[in-house]
Amino acid sequence: MNILVVGGAGYIGAHMAKQLTRQGHAVMVLDNLSTGFRRLARYGSLVEGDLGDAALLDELFSRTSFDGVMHFAANSLVGESVERPDKYYRNNVANTLVLLDRMRHFGVPRFIFSSTAATFGEPDYSPIDEQHPQRPINPYGHSKWMVEQVLKDYASAYGLDSVSLRYFNAAGADPEGELGECHEPETHLIPLTLQAASGRRPDIKVFGRDYGTPDGTCIRDYIHIEDLCTAHALALSALVEGRLSGAQAFNLGNGQGFSVQEVIAVVQKVVAEDGHTLVVKDAPQRPGDPAVLVADAGLARQTLDWQPQFADLETIVRHAWAWEQRQA
């Protein structure tokens, strides 16, 4: 298939481009490199440009008949979204509309959308399934939820088939060590903890030990990047083969939560094997962090026949540590 991976120079998109290429698909990556990295765009042909650039999209879509578009290009910092909602609504919503409308114009039939657990807001219950109400509590979550709603209306009005995948905590790295997590600034727990272990940061700060959880720290559902990408590939195949149609959405996680303290303990164990230690400090809660976010991904497992291969947290951390050691 011909597949356009928008945001394919970012953490998730780059792993996706590799997996699709390995499966024999022809991949084109569109990325404006605002938060992506040229060195991650190792697979597929990179077109440097913006998803809101209608003329560029017209050129790409008239040159190649794509079987589907996978869209990973978004701003994703919750705190920044509260301070600069204009940026989030423009890039994550308005620019996505440009992409969808150019796809419609050229008859590109399928869309896989990178959504998020942040569309659920403060959960009413755990694990979170697809029936859980979606009440985002910040502009980032709102922007992703808005696109999910657009996709429902585009499915009924224009016949655009789509799958939105709501990620819990994407983590880990390419098991072959070629790709890994890269964000500037980095805000995620596992890479920050590994950077503290490799000496690239002085310490890791635990944001709050006073949550209503067994050890007082937040609980999250970490899902290996490779498993996350597999779910996207399966979703696209299901659309192509007609097993799914309309606007579908699935939660993606392992269904098992780990506290911040537990994650740090696993990191400490893994890095100790290479003679590394790290300094752990306490810090206040980060605004907007729910105590527990765990996915019920039963629907994705059933409908997409998705079987995570790297559900074990230690494996996730080992792959991420191998990548971090190459960065230090």
Residues taking part in catalysis? 140
Per rule CB under 6 A, count of chain residues that contact ligand UDP: 14
Rg (CA), the chain: 19
> Which residue in the set 142, 205, 232, 276 belongs to the binding site for ligand UDP (CB under 6 A)?
205
* Minimum CB distance to ligand UDP smaller for 286 or for 326: 286
Cis peptide bond N-terminal to 214, omega within 30: no
Residue type, 7: G
Residue 220 CA from chain centroid, whole number = 14
Provide, rounded to whole angstroms, the least separation between the CB of residue 205 and ligand UDP.
5
Provide, rounded to whole angstroms, the least separation between the CB of residue 212 and ligand UDP.
13
Contact between 151 and ligand UDP by CB under 6 A: the answer reads: no
Residue nearest to ligand UDP (CB): 218
Contact between 53 and ligand UDP by CB under 6 A: the answer reads: no
Strands 68-71 and 204-207: unpaired
CB atoms near residue 196 (< 10 Å): 23
In the numeric block, the tokens 């996709």 are attached to: 151
* Minimum CB distance to ligand UDP smaller for 120 or for 306: 120
Contact between 218 and ligand UDP by CB under 6 A: the answer reads: yes
Give Cα separations from 62 to 6, 66, 102, 199, 271 (angstroms): 16, 10, 10, 48, 50
Q: Which residues contact 128 (CB under 8 A, 6 or more apart)?
A: 117, 120, 251, 293, 294, 295, 296
> Which residue in the set 119, 138, 169, 248 belongs to the binding site for ligand UDP (CB under 6 A)?
169
> Which residue in the set 82, 126, 207, 216 belongs to the binding site for ligand UDP (CB under 6 A)?
207
Contact between 122 and ligand UDP by CB under 6 A: the answer reads: no
Residues that bind ligand UDP (CB under 6 A): 169, 187-189, 192, 204-207, 218, 220, 260, 286, 289
